[in-house]
Structure 1
Amino acid sequence: MLTHIVFFKLKDSSEESVARAAQVLRDMEGKIEVLKSIEVGIDVLHSERSYDIALITTFDSLEALEVYQVHPIHKKVIEYMTQVREASVSVDFES
């Protein structure tokens, strides 16, 4: 199994903007066949080093992640997140 984690820091970290971006991410659930699980978390501490949103997704393989990366639904999400994010970082690991 491959786990793909992305943290997003938004340009506008208001409650409404964060909730909207989190919903855009959640809306991928059930729409991309290779996406085995998805979890979206919103930061509750709001410390200086915090990011606003965590996206945790799992896939059967690296090849499945590659399919996800170019899927039309994911590409629309990337387009939206590119507009609203200030920064993002990711980690991908096998388990």
Structure 2
Amino acid sequence: MVRHLGFFQFKEGVSDEEIAMCFDELRAMVGQIPGLLSIEHGLHQSDEGLDDGFTHAFCMTFESIAARDAYLPHPVHMQRVELFQPRLERVIVCDFEVQDAFKATV
């Protein structure tokens, strides 16, 4: 399993409605791109001060590295890139392969 994490800083003037529409379109990729299992996203809500101006985050889960690799040039993904890109000031993306999940034993 692969996690694909992204952090967005939207440009000044991008409305909440535009941001919501972008994330609606992002979520709609599940079921359209093989191996894309889920998408979660949300508004940054920490007071730690470590966000460096990024306001939103997302996490996609892919069944494999091959599925993630096929997603990158997929036409549905490229449509979302075209939707988001003009609205973004900055973006960071980071991927990692899930090896073992650690759970609390309380």
TM-score relative to the length of structure 2: 0.76
Amino acid at match of 2:33: I
TM-superposition CA deviations, 1:11-30 (whole Å, max 9, x none): 13532232222222122122
Structure 2 Cα separation of the partners of residues 61 and 36 of structure 1: 10
Q: Deviations over 1:41-91 (max 9, x none)?
A: 123469773423212111122111110111111010011111111100011
- The residue number in structure 2 matching 1:66 is 69
Structure 2 equivalent of residue 37 of structure 1 = 38
Q: Paired residue for 1:17?
A: 18
Structure whose CA Rg is larger: 2
Moved more, 14-23 or 85-94: 14-23
Aligned-residue Cα RMSD (Å) equals: 2.1
Segments of structure 1 that go 5 or more residues without pairing to the other structure are none
Match of 1:6 in 2: 6
Q: Which amino acid aligns with 1:32?
A: I
Q: What code does the residue aligned with 1:20 have?
A: M
Of Structure 1 and Structure 2, which has the larger fraction of its residues in helix? Answer: 1
8 Å contact from structure 2 (residues 4, 60) kept in 1: yes
Any stretches of 5+ residues in structure 2 without a counterpart? 99-106
**SS across alignment from 2:72:** helix
Aligned residues: 95
Instruction: Give the 3 Å change call, closer, same or farther, for CA 69–6 of structure 1 in structure 2.
Output: same
